[in-house]
Each structure stands twice: as C-alpha cells, then as structure tokens.
Amino acid sequence: MKKKVVVIGSGPGGAATAALLRKKGHAVTLIESQPFTGGRCASFSKGGFTYDFGVHMFSRGNSGPHGEVNRMLEGGLRWKTHEPAARVMGKVEFDFPLDIRSFLTQVKVAMKLNVKPSCYLGAFRLFRALLKGESIERHDGTTVETFVDSYTDDDRIHLFINCLCQLYFALSYKESSAGEFMWCFSRMFNEASFGYPFGASKAIPDSFLERFEQAGGILKINEKVTRIEIEKGEVRGVRTEKGFYPAEVVVSSAGALPTILLSGKEHFPETYTTSIEQKKGSNAYITLKYALDKKVVPYPTVFYMPNLPGRDVFQYIEDKTVPDDVYIFMPVPSNQDPSLAPPGTQLVIAGTAAPRFASAELCNAILDKIHQKVCDLFPDFSKAILWEIRSSRKETSDLTGLDNGSCIGLGQTPDQSGRFHLNSETPVAGLYLVGADAGSRGIGTELAVGSALNLVRRL
C-alpha cells in the first residue's frame, strides 16, 4: 500500500528516510525549516572554503549505515580513509593507526600513550574486550569509567578513553554507557573504515536528497512546521507557515521533545512525555572553523588530549567553568578532500565539548582556549589565519531546535542506551521519530541514518 508521507527535517536521518520511502514508492514530501538542507550535517561556503557546521566523526564510513543507505539508493557517496587515522597530540604525540586489531599495534599504542608498564596487560585486555564487543547488552547499564576501571587504573588509558567517549557521544566517560561504547569501538576498529565523505559532511544528506528528488520526492525548504495535526490518536498531516500537507504517515527528525511540542502534549500519555522530558541530552559541541592561507597541519585529523588527570578532564562541563587545558578534535577536511579549500590553502575545524545551556561568554572563553592551544601546537598557525568562524552553543540550538545545545540529542547514558534507547515508535498512530534520538546504536549521525534504516524496514 502506497502511503502519503511527510518527513520533517532534512538532516541525515530525515533525508535517508525520505529517499528510502520514496524508493519504496510512497508519496513523500520532505519539509525543512531552514533555508538550506542537511540539518546537523549542513556545510556552508565562504570564499572558496566549504566548511561543516559541526565537527563530525564518521567512525564507520562506507561500512556503516551511511554506506548502506548509499548502496540501497545507488548513490554516489564516496569516502576518504586514512592510515594512520589521526595524529594524537598532547603530552605524547603519535599517529593513531586505523587498524589496531593486532597485538603488536596495541603494544605500540600502549607504549606511545605512555601507559605504565605494570598496566600493559590490563590495557591489552581492555582493548581486546572492546574490540571483541561481546555481551554488549550486559554492559549497557554500566558506565565506561567503571568498565575501564575493571581492567586498569592507568591514568593515560583513562584519559584516552574519556576523550574518545566525548568524541563518540559528546559525554564524559563517567556518563556514557559501556555497552554503547563497546559497540561503537568494536565496529569502528574492526571495520577500519573511519573516514570523511568527499564533498564535506553535507555530501551525506545531499546524496540522499539527490536520489529522493530524482525519484520524484518533493522537497520544501525554508518552510517551518507549525503543527503536526493529530486526531483521535492518529496523525492527519503537517501544517506549516505556508499550508497543510495531509499525510497518513509523519516521520519527524526534529528530535523527540520538539516533536511532542509540535504535536501538542495532549496527544501523548503523560508518562511518555515526562519520560522524554526527563531524558538527559548530550553535551554541546562548540567549534572554530579556520581558513588558512597555507597548509599548516599535515595530518588528516588531530586528536588533542589535554594535560589533565584522565578521570577529571571533563569536570569543567559539570562545573560550567573554563578548563585549564582542553580536549580538541580537529579534522582537517581539506587534507581529506582538497576541493574543500582553494589550492594552497587549508581548512581546519577544531571543536570541543561545552556544558549544556552554556552561556555565550563561557563558550567564547572555551573557544579562546582552543584557539590558543591550536596556535601553540602549530607555530605557523596564527599567522596563516585568513578568517575564523565561531559556532557556540546558541548556533547549535538554532540549528537543532534544542535549547540545551546538545549536539547529538539524547545522551547515550547507561539508562538511555541499547534497549533503553528511544525508538521510532510513538504512542500516536502514524507518527514516527527518526534521527539521533530514535537510533538504536552508533555514533552521532550514524544513529540518525541507522534509525531511518530501521524504520523503513518496518514501514
């Protein structure tokens, strides 16, 4: 039975849902409130530089859900992978390999990380458990910190895993679910296809949307949804500033809580609404985008681990203060796809986690810290800057519609991961959620695209 479907939001989750449903023959309209498509994956252009709004880490690249949807749609999405994958900087400096399955590489990583020799074996057992990814469900309810503690108390390992958690989930490892972390880690390193899409992050939703439109899907941009119309527990359609779109199925990638508010709380059982209201969001991510007049950073990606005790490196997020030293994830998109910057120049994106609801002043102070750190790491950096663009918590909120600035949405905490993670079903017939909030497992946009795959298989 072919249905009338409205999809809200053109991020990777919405775009994948729309394109896949259209491919199945449904009549699909995709409505995007912004004047541009892509949601959290949006990229923009300035002076020949194509930069991402956020900092993205596509841990599984072509072998993950992005690649799977691309293959289903026979799309043209291509990935660049690097071996070694990233440059670790900080107190120690080394190239982090993409393939760490071999014991020898693990020895090397442990040595380079400066792990205490007495903690080597614990570190190897930890790597091994993470790579194996067995009994994930059993570990869902534990925090990553507890999990790591059961193997080693080495500060360097704790620092590394803590920073990796922040990168994966925008949460400190004290808040992240060990099962979820294990799932992501084992897939990332076993599939070894960590990469960056050619054409910047927006290439992901764009390639889905291209297939969607080619297949006759209708895309409306710059049109804000004002109401999801529901009658007698069944969805009827979507009202926007410009009109009404009747629909039997509405798929919202606007996030769980915004979707409830758009529909009206009265249509949902109170328990459902409260449970969602009480869910914890991920941290905010704030970024600095640099246009440089020459190539300064020779690495595809930089992973800077601050010189702080491993357990407390993200204490500043709890305290809402400026840290002494700051963890930075810094992809260099133009090193991965040279077409993203004019010849001879370089595009660098540096980001870190910030507290939810962080004030503009606090965000700016943390961004100043990043700026200073990046300039310290690369002596030629400050002289080469053509311009920089700052995205703080407020810009993220504007883009995602989440006041707290959560960059992923619901946090992948022990009580919100795996089987406790929200799924696509809602109490309203015909209304479904996709996006990071509704995904089952994965990192950032993989949750979103994965949720689209799951939903489309069911519908």
Residues contributing to the site for another protein (CB under 8 A): 61-63, 78-81, 83-84, 97, 99, 101-105, 107-108, 111, 117-118, 120-121, 124-125, 128, 190-193, 195
Q: Which is nearer to another protein, 207 or 282 (CB)?
A: 207
Q: Which is nearer to another protein, 125 or 419 (CB)?
A: 125
Q: Which is nearer to another protein, 108 or 280 (CB)?
A: 108
Q: For 162-210, what is the HEC assignment?
A: HHHHHHHHCCCCCCCEHHHHHHHHHHHHHHCCCEEECCCCCHHHHHHHH
All residues at 6 or more sequence positions from 121 whose CB lies less than 8 Å from its CB, including other chains: none
Strands (E), 92-151: 94-96
Q: Which is nearer to another protein, 123 or 260 (CB)?
A: 123
Q: How far is the CB of 63 from another protein (least distance, A)?
A: 7
Rounded to the nearest 5 percent, the helix, strand and coil shares of the chain are: 40, 20, 35
Q: If DSSP codes are grouped into helix, strand and coil, which group holds residue 211?
A: helix
Q: How far is the CB of 83 from another protein (least distance, A)?
A: 6
The CA distance from 128 to 131, in Å, is 5
Q: How far is the CB of 138 from another protein (least distance, A)?
A: 20
Q: Which is nearer to another protein, 103 or 387 (CB)?
A: 103
The CA distance from 335 to 53, in Å, is 18
Q: Which is nearer to another protein, 83 or 376 (CB)?
A: 83
Q: Which is nearer to another protein, 186 or 240 (CB)?
A: 186
Q: How far is the CB of 250 from another protein (least distance, A)?
A: 35
Q: How far is the CB of 188 from another protein (least distance, A)?
A: 12
How far from chain centre, in Å, is Cα 320? 22
Q: Kindly state the DSSP code that residue 404 receives in the 8-state scheme.
A: T
Find where tokens 């996709």 sit.
434
Which tokens in the block code for residue 166? 């922040």
Q: Are strands 301-305 and 284-292 parallel, antiparallel or unpaired?
A: unpaired
Q: How far is the CB of 103 from another protein (least distance, A)?
A: 5
Q: How far is the CB of 153 from another protein (least distance, A)?
A: 15
